[in-house]
Amino acid sequence: MSVLYTLYDYETFLEMAGLFLLYFIPPAGKETIIPAAIALGIPWITVCLSVVFIDIACCLFLLWNFEVLGLIPIIGPRLTQMMRKGSIFLTNHPWLERFFLIGLIAFVLIPFQGTGAVSGTILGKMAGMPQIEIFFAITVGSTLQSFLIGLSVYALNKYLGLDLWYVVAFFIGIIVLFSIGTFIWYRLCGSKKNA
């Protein structure tokens, strides 16, 4: 953030800082933050590099502090249980290890809710992948996803003259509809189990 503070005026820096703060709050993700930043006039390459840096920082933080997550009362026991199940599954199916790296890159690359650096790092740890492979997968997946979104949005604006706020509104609409659909589905499944 200090690099962005020195490169841009204070108002632009505050806009970027606000957007990057929203990036940590679900359901906002790369598919909404990058178009919004570009619509505000921030260069697409700056936005993409910043988002990749945030993902790398989150990945490294989780890799270096993963054991601390195990000490959190509600999360810790569940993570331990999932890691144990994953270890047993991998012991029974060792051939799957060949596909972990490509699978984790694809997981981070796909722009859906819950597929990002944080969940990708946790998934990689649960699968028993080495830290360097997890870091590589998160870096490659995040870079590809960020630059695909950023370049696409930039091209839509520059060559087709599309107002980028429509792109942001479109993605927010998809996220809201998906969230409502998921809520209804869980309510229906929950009522069937109770019946």
What would the DSSP string read from start to end of 158-184? HHH---HHHHHHHHHHHHHHHHHHHHH
For 11-72, the three-class secondary structure string (H helix, E strand, C coil) is HHHHHHHHHHHHCCCCCCCHHHHHHHHHHCCCCHHHHHHHHHHHHHHHHHHHHHHHHHHCCC
Q: Distance between CA atoms of 152 and 164, rounded to whole angstroms?
A: 11
- The b/e string for 170-181 (b: 16+ C-beta within 10 A; e otherwise) is ebbeebeeeeee
Contacts of 52 (CB under 8 A, 6+ apart): 139, 142, 143, 146
Give just the sign of the alpha carbon dihedral 30, 116, 180, 76.
negative
Percent of the chain with pLDDT over 90: 16
**Residue 96's pLDDT band (cuts 50, 70, 90):** low
Mean pLDDT, all residues of the chain? 81
Contacts of 123 (CB under 8 A, 6+ apart): 104, 107
Q: Which of the given ranges, 118-122, 161-165, 190-194, has the highest pLDDT on average? A: 118-122
Residue 191 has pLDDT above 70, yes or no: no
Tokens 């740890």, residue? 125
Q: Distance between CA atoms of 47 and 174, rounded to whole angstroms?
A: 22
For the record, the structure tokens of 144 come out as 């590809």
pLDDT for the residue numbered 143:
94
pLDDT digits (tens, 9 = 90+) for 105-157: 888 888 766 667 888 888 888 787 889 999 999 999 999 999 998 998 888 88
Structural Rg of the chain based on CA atoms: 19
Tokens 């590589």, residue? 136
pLDDT digits (tens, 9 = 90+) for 12-27: 788 888 888 888 776 7
Q: Distance between CA atoms of 95 and 86, rounded to whole angstroms?
A: 14
Top-confidence residue, 180 or 86: 180
The reported pTM is 0.75
pLDDT for the residue numbered 114:
65
Tokens 């360097």, residue? 132
Are the beta carbons of 164 and 157 closer than 8 angstroms?
yes
pLDDT for the residue numbered 5:
66
